[in-house]
Amino acid sequence: MELSQEEVNHLAESLHGQLLTPTSPDFDKVRAIWNGMIDRKPGLIVRCTSATDVMQAVDFARQHQLRVSVRGGGHNIAGSALNEGGLMIDLQLMRSVRIDPQKRIARVEPGCTLADFDHEAQVFGLATPVGINSTTGIAGLTLGGGFGWLSRKYGMTIDNLLSADIVTANGQLVQASQDQHPDLFWAIRGGGGNFGIVTSFEFKLHPVGPEILSGLIVHPFQDAKKVLQFYREFAAGLPDETSVWVVLRLAPPLPFIPEEWHGKPVVVLAAFHGGDMGEGERVLEPLRRFGKPIADVIGPHPYAKWQQAFDPLLTAGARNYWKSHNFTALPDDLVNIMLDYVNQLPSSQTEIFVGQVGGQMKRVPDQETAYPHRNANFVMNVHTRWETASEDKACIQWARNFFKDSAPFATGGVYVNFLTEEETDRIQAAYGPNYARLAEVKATYDPDNLFRSNQNIIPTKEKATH
């Protein structure tokens, strides 16, 4: 739809923040997102500084029938922050974090990264379970579910969400919690950005750190099968405070890995213990004693620094393509498939990571939140990552082949934040038994599907009002 200059000017005058057009000096910088494969140009970008800016932007988009996308951290693999020719509602300037150390509650705005949140909360020795890459945006992470090193002890990010302020498709600001708009509160805990734009999150905090026991153990690839067989038995007996993840990749040039191993395939065990340091050393001792590792750098680390440990391997701008499965177990046949594919890695930056979950995550009933896949013990994500468009075909095909070959061992569920742009056929699998209820909530709060630049939930035809 063509907009007049008068209409554009009127929108700009209504904002506390900024309105950018394709001729604005910062336009390309603001629209740049983490996944370099995705390049779309919105017609307008509203840089919001407040909930009222978001309300104005939503009203404008609805009245002029513009396609809407919402940018928090811009980290989503599918590039949902960007649309072509429509209105991008940019929340990057809304980065306030307020900590109440007595009540152990955090108020977090949607432009915050995990690093922003951790920085403020750790001053008081507090944290909420979030992801493992500190440049990720808190908004997208939370709305999709959110899990990381603390999730076996304290659950998913959504399990620690107390309330959220949300601008719905009619431009109204509502608060969703167990007591107010409980259906909306249920839906945003895993249902993605389908139901509105969150302008503030309220999280429960837990005592964490500021020092925790963490680090990496790196094994030569020739020992990979034995290491993974030992790992799965070891992982099964771990307390909730402890989590060990696996990364299979070519060794990056990190200072603690001997130079002769750089660029060669390795098995990396990433260990975390968030409880008593002495107890953590006792728990991890058998893992550290096993085999003949190339490197072992487990020790005390500041929690906030550990949260940033993988950032250098996941910087913005590279081309990225993911495929993901949930597993309850890691049988030998699956291990063999993983190892076969590591022998065929299509790029030096590609990795297979297996995150250990379970614990408190599993104790929440499947239908208590929109995210339903509480039965998983492991979440595997294939990070295919490369630099040039000429490598696209080989890298994507490798990931798809691995996904297909490992599928017989998977639960069929998937974490919605790991879905690529093309995987619309897996949206129902992402929500399983909760999809029908989500479609009903969608019909109540966004009957015309204004918020559809996402892994989209189609509203049921029977439109309700609220």
Q: Give the per-residue pLDDT at 313.
A: 87
Q: Which of 446, 372, 374 is nearest to 184 (CA)?
A: 446
**CB atoms closer than 10 angstroms to residue 280:** 22
Residue 242 has pLDDT above 60, yes or no: yes
Query: In angstroms, rounded to a whole number, what is the distance separating the alpha carbons of residues 88 and 76?
Result: 15
Q: Give the per-residue pLDDT at 461.
A: 77
Do 384 and 238 fall into the same domain?
yes
Residues 6+ apart with CB under 8 A from 380: 324, 325, 326, 327, 352, 353, 354, 355, 406
Domain boundary among 207, 241, 276: 207
* pTM, entire model: 0.95
Q: Give the per-residue pLDDT at 463.
A: 47
Structure tokens at 197: 């734009």
Do 142 and 270 fall into the same domain?
no
Query: In angstroms, rounded to a whole number, what is the distance separating the alpha carbons of residues 437 and 456?
Result: 14
The tens digit of pLDDT for each residue in 454-463 reads 999 999 975 4
CA 461, 437, 137, 98 torsion: positive or negative? positive
Do 275 and 313 fall into the same domain?
yes
For residue 208, name the pLDDT band (cuts at 50, 70, 90): very high
Residue 74 has pLDDT above 90, yes or no: yes
Structure tokens at 422: 């093309």
Query: In angstroms, rounded to a whole number, what is the distance separating the alpha carbons of residues 31 and 44?
Result: 10
Q: Give the per-residue pLDDT at 363.
A: 96
Domain boundary among 55, 72, 90: 90
Q: Considering the domain boundaries, does residue 444 fall inside one?
A: no
For residue 465, name the pLDDT band (cuts at 50, 70, 90): very low
CB 275 within 8 A of CB 287: no
Residues 6+ apart with CB under 8 A from 285: none
CATH number for the domain that contains residue 81: 3.30.43.10
Q: Considering the domain boundaries, does residue 411 fall inside one?
A: yes
Range of the domain at 244: 211-423
Structure tokens at 466: 């609220």
Residue 141 has pLDDT above 80, yes or no: yes
122: part of which helix (H) or strand (E)?
Answer: helix 114-122
Structure tokens at 120: 């403020």
The tens digit of pLDDT for each residue in 154-164 reads 999 999 999 99
Residue 108 has pLDDT above 60, yes or no: yes
Q: Give the per-residue pLDDT at 24.
A: 96
Residue 171 has pLDDT above 60, yes or no: yes
Query: In angstroms, rounded to a whole number, what is the distance separating the alpha carbons of residues 158 and 198?
Result: 13
CB 58 within 8 A of CB 450: yes
Residue 259 has pLDDT above 50, yes or no: yes
- Mean pLDDT, the chain, rounded, equals 95
CB 219 within 8 A of CB 288: no
Query: In angstroms, rounded to a whole number, what is the distance separating the alpha carbons of residues 426 and 433?
Result: 13
The tens digit of pLDDT for each residue in 389-439 reads 999 999 999 999 999 999 999 999 999 999 999 898 999 999 999 999 999
Q: Considering the domain boundaries, does residue 192 fall inside one?
A: yes
Residue 466 has pLDDT above 70, yes or no: no
Do 381 and 253 fall into the same domain?
yes
Q: Give the per-residue pLDDT at 262.
A: 96
378-386/319-327 β-pairing: antiparallel
The mean pLDDT of 203-213, rounded to a whole number, is 96
Task: Give 89's strand partners.
Answer: 46, 70
Residue 202 has pLDDT above 50, yes or no: yes
Residue 1 has pLDDT above 70, yes or no: no
Residues 6+ apart with CB under 8 A from 324: 379, 380, 381, 382, 403, 414, 415, 418, 419
Do 310 and 194 fall into the same domain?
no
Number of domains in the chain: 3
Cα–Cα distances in angstroms (integers) from residue 316 to residues 76, 84, 246, 312, 384, in the given order: 11, 21, 23, 10, 14
Do 85 and 101 fall into the same domain?
no
Place of tokens 């060990």: 244
Do 184 and 217 fall into the same domain?
no
Residues 6+ apart with CB under 8 A from 316: 32, 33, 34, 36, 135
Helix (H/G/I), strand (E/B), else coil: 127: strand
For residue 464, name the pLDDT band (cuts at 50, 70, 90): very low
For residues 438, 441, 447, 453, the Cα torsion angle rounded to the nearest 10 degrees is -50
Kindly report each contact of residues 170-175 with a partner whose C-beta sits within 8 Å and lies 24 or more positions away, as own/partner.
Answer: 170/62, 171/55, 171/56, 171/58, 171/59, 171/62, 172/55, 173/51, 173/55, 173/199
Do 277 and 248 fall into the same domain?
yes
CB 111 within 8 A of CB 92: yes
pLDDT over 70 for what percent of the chain? Answer: 99
Report angle CA 118, 121, 124 to the nearest 5 degrees: 140
Do 151 and 68 fall into the same domain?
no
Peptide bond into 210 cis (omega under 30): yes
Going by the DSSP 8-state scheme, the letter that residue 113 receives in this structure is: B
The mean pLDDT of 71-79, rounded to a whole number, is 95
Q: Considering the domain boundaries, does residue 263 fall inside one?
A: yes
The mean pLDDT of 185-196, rounded to a whole number, is 97
The mean pLDDT of 217-246, rounded to a whole number, is 98
Domain boundary among 423, 441, 457: 423
Task: Give 352's strand partners.
Answer: 248, 382
Do 337 and 382 fall into the same domain?
yes
